[in-house]
Amino acid sequence: MRKYSLQDAVRKGFPTWASHQTNHQSSVRKSKAKPNGKKPAAEEKKMYLEPEYTKSRITDVGFKELVVLPREIDLNEWLASNTTTFFHHVNLQYSTISEFCTGEACQTMAVCNTQYYWYDERGKKVKCTAPQYVDFVMSSVQKLVTDEDVFPTKYGREFPSSFESLVKKICKYLFHVLAHIYWSHFKETLALELHGHLNTLYVHFILFAREFNLLDSKDTAVMDDLTEVLCSGGGHGGGGGEGASGGGAGAQNHGKER
């Protein structure tokens, strides 16, 4: 299986938004039909919503508790550590289906009836396929999380004032990648028996983003139906799950439950 190579993406020198934080480099456009004239995919059945798949997880851990800022840990450190981890996990999850995410199979970065466009550092719209878009995302995020000025690791270095907005941007782009995996590659994820991993990652990511208000509800609306099922906390869900012992009950009582 071909693995997605981050190094390759970085070497290709894709544009990034790292040095142009104020530029609006990604936006959402609604399209009524796919470019190839097919019916909008939204009318097709969403396999990932089938209960037999949505209940699949790799752990019963109570994510609502897990995402809460621990006492004595600096908020920015917590955001940095988790964001970096989510980046690696989303990258890994995408790598499992990347051989199917080709320029032919995924001509645009589409999720439901929404199409994402990348904007280069001059703000110019870049026409790209889904794998190219994912490359843009991964290389940009990689550049950011390894930039000592943005994600400082050395003692005494401080986070920039733009840190939170950069974390929000990273989360938005990681969300796009996750949504694309569900929308266009769920069948393959299922064949690889990795849907439990995907669901678990999605729940953890969404609950973390909710806890710190990192995602705009307008941006996540395309996946509201899935989020509702996976993160509502009912049954085997994000609130700790029915099978969670100890942590589950605590998570249900957590004040920030939404």
Q: Which is nearer to Zn ion, 130 or 209 (CB)?
A: 130
Minimum Å distance from CB 53 to Zn ion? 19
Q: Residue 101 annotated as binding?
A: yes
Cα(139)–Cα(49) distance, rounded to whole angstroms? Answer: 30
* Contact set for Zn ion, span 94-113 (CB under 5 A): 101, 106
- By CB under 5 A, residue 134 contacts Zn ion: no
CB 143 within 8 A of CB 149: no
Minimum Å distance from CB 35 to Zn ion? 14
Q: Which is nearer to Zn ion, 184 or 227 (CB)?
A: 184
Q: Which is nearer to Zn ion, 128 or 230 (CB)?
A: 128
Minimum Å distance from CB 112 to Zn ion? 14
Minimum Å distance from CB 1 to Zn ion? 15
Q: Which is nearer to Zn ion, 101 or 141 (CB)?
A: 101
3-state per-residue secondary structure call for the chain: CCCCCHHHHHHCCCCCCCCCCCCCCEEEEECCCCCCCCCCHHHCCCHHHCHHHHCCCCCCCCHHHHCCCCCCCCHHHHHHHHHHHHHHHHHHHHHHHCCCCCCCCCCCEEECCEEEEEECCCCCEECCCHHHHHHHHHHHHHHHHCCCCCCCCCCCCCCCCCHHHHHHHHHHHHHHHHHHHHHHHHHHHHHCCCHHHHHHHHHHHHHHHHHCCCCCHHHHHHHHHHHHHHHCCCCCCCCCCCCCCCHHHHHHCCCCCC
Minimum Å distance from CB 131 to Zn ion? 6
Q: Which is nearer to Zn ion, 134 or 167 (CB)?
A: 134
Minimum Å distance from CB 73 to Zn ion? 36
Considering only 176-184, 191-199, 209-217, 220-228, which stretch makes contact with Zn ion by CB under 5 A? 176-184
Q: Which is nearer to Zn ion, 83 or 91 (CB)?
A: 91
- By CB under 5 A, residue 184 contacts Zn ion: yes
Size of the site for Zn ion (CB under 5 A): 4
Considering only 22-30, 34-42, 159-167, 179-187, which stretch makes contact with Zn ion by CB under 5 A? 179-187
Position among 9, 18, 130, 141 found at the interface with Zn ion (CB under 5 A) = 130
241's torsion region: left (phi>0), alpha (psi -120 to 50) or beta?
A: left
- By CB under 5 A, residue 144 contacts Zn ion: no
Q: Residue 185 annotated as binding?
A: yes
List the beta bridge partners of residue 131. Answer: none
| Residues contributing to the site for Zn ion (CB under 5 A) | 101, 106, 130, 184
- Binding residues are 101, 106, 180, 185
